[in-house]
Structure formats: structure tokens, C-alpha cells
A and B are shown apart, each in its own frame.
Chain A
Amino acid sequence: MTESFDILVVGAGPAGIAAAVRAAEAGRSVALLDDNPAAGGQIWRSGAHAPAHARAWLARLESRDVLRKQGWRVIDCPEAGVVRAERNPGQPLPGTGKGPIEQIADFRYQRLILATGARERFLPFPGWTLPNVMGAGGLDAMVRGGLPIGGKRVVVAGTGPLLLAVAAHLAQRGAKILAVCEQASMGRLMSFGTRMLSEPGKLWQGLGYSLAIGPMRFKTGCWPVMAHGQDRLRAVTLRQGAKRWVIECDYLACGFHLVPNTELAALLGCRMQDGFVATDGQMRTSVPNVFCAGEPTGIGGVDVSLLEGEIAGLAAAGRVDHARELADKRHARRGFVRALRQACALDPQLRSLAADDTLVCRCEDVGYGRLRECSSWREAKLHTRCGMGSCQGRICGAAAEFLFGWGAESIRPPIFPARVASLAMLPQQPATVSGSREAAGEVSHTIKETA
């Protein structure tokens, strides 16, 4: 199956939604592909509890004739102008009650907007593979997905503004937040806070979060050094300076800020800069007709993502003047992106958390000690199978980058585990092959009906 669109957006978080809405409002035919069961990305997961501006954007998306594909993940770009995606087979089809249904489809585009979001960075420490040790955003997503958290004892740890937001949300759902441990020092946070005086909204939001969880429970320069338990988490040892103590808890929600999802951009050959997708003021990447918006261009949170999504959607739809107007607003926000990056810089002491028998690669169960003997990511992959499992290094790669300074060297399709049948998909029918010449050439600005 192949479908063709003027504009294809990958990722239905704030950036992707804004891009799809703006492009559709400009009269383009738009498709929006997303891996999650519902639109909204991670920050707006479970729309019922989403903030008002999220519901407004989702309503704006609903009102447009955008083809929405939820529960689809992109696995490959088999030729220029085509993205191949696979449907999560366990996802019941709307209206039919249940799966399994296996589907694969090619999506042909004139212009592509990558809004693939970010994931948490996880750092290995003894016990981190125990069930109920999760990411901070990870536990939050689980709770938004129906996990009962009322009365549960939770320690939140790691770094970044997500920690307080997660703690406040979990507290609101009835969790007992025992501690929020931020690895950054108080001095670094104060410096970030001073910069945030130019963004009072964010400052007050942070203060509100602190009040919600109780200010005494927020600790700086503090992190977990060991998670205890047999079959699941029972307690965690925390460290702050020379002090160490053990807290019994039901969940440890631990994430060390965010890393961008750049696999698809890398596969397409987009130029990277400091680990992020390089774009110009109109969110164009180095690859013609490919745009990128949101966290993959720099971790800046929902406001910057929405702005970048709007710019990308307008620019991809040919509304360059409108896009330029917003570009100035975006430029003013880049300071926040830089300040956030500095505030969340990891303390070098975190490199010594893992013991030799602490697993770094959770897919292939590769310990820190075995990786220490390797000199590069490639060598680690070849000799230990680190990063060769199902997550394809999405978890251990970011840890290895911090622990050893290794960078990912290349990316090959499929960028997500895929069924053999999907990879062996037969060549396209003649009708769609003829369309590829047009896709590879100049973008037509004619407004087309939705395919």
C-alpha cells in the first residue's frame, strides 16, 4: 500500500501537531504518522488530563482533514521521497475491538517534517534494571497509561525540569513523593533560575511544582547510587556529598534529562550539530525538502516545540512570510535552550556509578566491565553485542556517550525492529513508481486534494 501527500509529518507531539495543523490550514494534503496509541506525544499523553492549550491544538488538528496514523512506526526510507512504516500489530483497529493485524505501508511525500521528539537519558547504577526502576517521564507515562500510583512511595531522581513536573503530577495523583533528587548543584540551578527571570512563566511553574511536593524534599547535588531488591525494587540508596542514606520505596523514577530522537534524520543524511539536527531559520535540514522541528533540533520543551512546528508547517507549505514572522520569536527562545543545556550538564562523578557487573546494555545484558575493555562504540558492538538488541542502542548509546565519550557512528535500516515480511516488501506498483520522479524533483505548489 502506498499513499501520497504534499506533506508528511513524523511524530504527533506538540511540534508535529503544530506542523500538521499549519500545513493543513495552508491547504496542503497532510499525513501525520505516530508510534503512540494517541496524538499528543509524551508531554500531552492522555488528552483528558492535558492542559487547555494542548486540547486547543488537538481540536485544531481534529478540525482539519489530516490523515492520522497512530500506532505506526517508521522503519525505513526505501527511496527518496518515501517513508516506510509498520503498524504495531497488537494495536486493535478502531471499531473492531481487537487485533492482531499486521500492516505495512509506504508514504510518499513532497516534503517531510521530522518531529520525532526526545527520549530520556538513563545512566546505569547497581540495581537500575530492577522492575519498578523507571524513567521519570517513564513512570509518568505509565501513570497516564493507567498505572495506579495512589499511596505509592516514589523517589524521583536524575536531572532537568522534568523531575519537578513529574513529581508534582504524581503527587496530584496521590503518590507519596519521598524525595526529588537533582544531580545539578544548587549554584548551577540558581544560575539557571536567574536566566529564567526573563521567562517568568516558567519560573513560577517551577515554584508551583516545588510547593506541590514540599520544598524540603527537593535535594540538589543528589543522586541514587544503588537500587535494592530481588524481583523488584524495595529501596534505594541516595547520595548527597559525603552523606548516604537508604529510602524504602515502591518506585524510583530516574531520568537524566533528554536526548533527541535523531535516528530517522540520520538515516536520511541530515547534517547534525552537537548531536542535534541542524536546521536553518525555517526549520529546513541540510537535505532538500526535509524539515525538522521540536526536541531533535535542541531540547527546549513544549513552547519552543510548538513554535518550531508552526514554522516548519508553514515553511513546508510554502508560506515563507508567515514562517519568517515566527522565526524571530523562535530566535528569542534559543537562549532558554542553551541555558537548559548548561543547567542539566551531568556531574562527572556520575561516571563512577556503575560497577563492573552493572549492566549498561539491557537488551543484551552487557556489563560495564566488558565495555571498559573496548575503545569505541563500534568495537563494543562487535565484541560484546552492546547496542545490538531490540532498542538498537537507544538506551545504552546515550549512557555510553556520557560514560566513554563514544558517539554512534552510522545508522542503517530498519531503524526499529521490523518483521521480515515488512523488509521484504515487494516493489511498488507501476502507478506509484511513476510518481517518484515528481517527488524527487521540485516541489509543486499546487494545492492538491487529500490523497
Chain B
Amino acid sequence: MHEKKQDISLTVNGAAVTVSPGTTVAAAVAMAGAATRTSVSGEPRGPLCGMGICFECRVTIDGIPHQRSCQILCAPGLAVTTGSGAVAPMEAARTP
């Protein structure tokens, strides 16, 4: 990973955001002033644990929903969408 230390451009809800290499998607979302998700009762939520445990920072990245934005680094051209509902059709982990 010997990339040049160039700034990275991505979009958050369609708006352009420029960040330094090594920036997480969660930080980019915060810089764009957005909450990450909407809870089942409609509350706006932002990151809580910052380390991939709490799932509050889930966003949609390049069309794939429920990505933990604190565990994913920004890359050029990522399209990030926030505010998705908490219903998680792709998650099978509904443990009894």
C-alpha cells in the first residue's frame, strides 16, 4: 500500500467530501454533517463504539446496505448513503 498521500474524494448522500487517506467512512459521514442511520423508532443515530461492535454507524456503500462505516476506509469514488432504516433483509443473524 504505497499509494501517494493524495486526498480522496467520495460522496455522502450525493454531496462531495474530500478526506485524507486513512479516513474512515464514519468520519467522512460526520464531516458531511449527516447521521448514519435511522433507528426502528425513527431516531437519528451516529457512531457509538467506533470499533465495529455497535452497528450504529451502518450506511449504504456503493449500493450495499448495512456496512459498518467505522470499519471501512474511504476510497476514491465511494458513494455513501445514510439514514437507511434498521430493517436488515441481508442479515440472517437473528439469533433466538
- A interface residue numbers (CB < 8 A to B): 35-37, 42, 46, 48, 71, 73, 88-92, 94-95, 97-100, 119-120, 122, 129-135, 137-142, 145-148, 231-232, 261, 362-365, 381, 388-392, 394-395, 411-412, 414, 416-420, 423
B15 at the interface (CB under 8 A from A): no
Count B interface residues, CB 8 Å: 57
Mark interface residues in B18-30 (1 if CB within 8 Å of A CB, else 0).
0110111111101
Within the assembled complex, what's the spacing in Å between the Cα atoms of A73 and B54? 14
Central interface residue in B41, B50, B55, B66, by most chain A CB within 10 Å: B50
Within the assembled complex, what's the spacing in Å between the Cα atoms of A34 and B56? 20
Within the assembled complex, what's the spacing in Å between the Cα atoms of A364 and B95? 13
A-B contact pairs, 10 of them (CB 8 A): A37-B71, A119-B53, A134-B46, A134-B47, A145-B23, A146-B28, A146-B31, A231-B44, A362-B39, A417-B91
* A145 in contact with B24 (CB, 8 Å): yes
* B54 in contact with A142 (CB, 8 Å): no
- B interface residue numbers (CB < 8 A to A): 1, 19-20, 22-28, 30-31, 35-36, 39-41, 43-56, 58, 61-64, 66-68, 70-78, 86, 88, 90-96
Within the assembled complex, what's the spacing in Å between the Cα atoms of A9 and B95? 26
Q: Which residue of A lies closest to B21 (CB)?
A: A146
* A137 in contact with B50 (CB, 8 Å): yes
* A37 in contact with B73 (CB, 8 Å): yes
Closest-CB distance, A92 to chain B (whole angstroms): 4
Within the assembled complex, what's the spacing in Å between the Cα atoms of A58 and B90? 35
Q: Give the chain A neighbours of B70 by CB distance below 8 A.
A: 141-142, 145
Q: Give the chain B neighbours of A141 by CB distance below 8 A.
A: 49-51, 70
Q: Give the chain A neighbours of B63 by CB distance below 8 A.
A: 100
User: Could you say which of B22, B40, B72 contacts A46, with CB atoms under 8 Å apart?
Assistant: B22
* B95 in contact with A139 (CB, 8 Å): no
Closest-CB distance, B64 to chain A (whole angstroms): 5
> How many A-B residue contacts, CB cutoff 8 Å?
183
* A388 in contact with B95 (CB, 8 Å): yes
Closest-CB distance, A162 to chain B (whole angstroms): 12
User: Could you say which of A90, A231, A418 contacts B62, with CB atoms under 8 Å apart?
Assistant: A90
Q: Give the chain A neighbours of B40 by CB distance below 8 A.
A: 363-365
Within the assembled complex, what's the spacing in Å between the Cα atoms of A146 and B19? 8
Given contacts A141-B49, A420-B90, 19 further A-B contacts (CB under 8 A): A48-B22, A88-B67, A88-B72, A92-B75, A95-B1, A98-B78, A130-B46, A131-B45, A134-B47, A137-B50, A141-B70, A146-B20, A146-B28, A146-B74, A365-B41, A365-B43, A414-B92, A416-B93, A417-B93
* B92 in contact with A419 (CB, 8 Å): yes
User: Could you say which of A71, A98, A147, A417 contacts B77, with CB atoms under 8 Å apart?
Assistant: A98
Closest-CB distance, B78 to chain A (whole angstroms): 6
User: Could you say which of B48, B55, B58, B77 contacts A97, with CB atoms under 8 Å apart?
Assistant: B77
Central interface residue in B1, B23, B54, B68, by most chain A CB within 10 Å: B54
Q: Which residue of A lies closest to B35 (CB)?
A: A131
* A363 in contact with B86 (CB, 8 Å): yes
* A137 in contact with B51 (CB, 8 Å): yes
* B45 in contact with A100 (CB, 8 Å): no
Q: Give the chain A neighbours of B24 by CB distance below 8 A.
A: 37, 142, 145-146
* A390 in contact with B26 (CB, 8 Å): no
Closest-CB distance, B4 to chain A (whole angstroms): 13
Q: Give the chain B neighbours of A90 by CB distance below 8 A.
A: 25, 61-62, 64, 67, 72, 78
Within the assembled complex, what's the spacing in Å between the Cα atoms of A154 and B88? 33
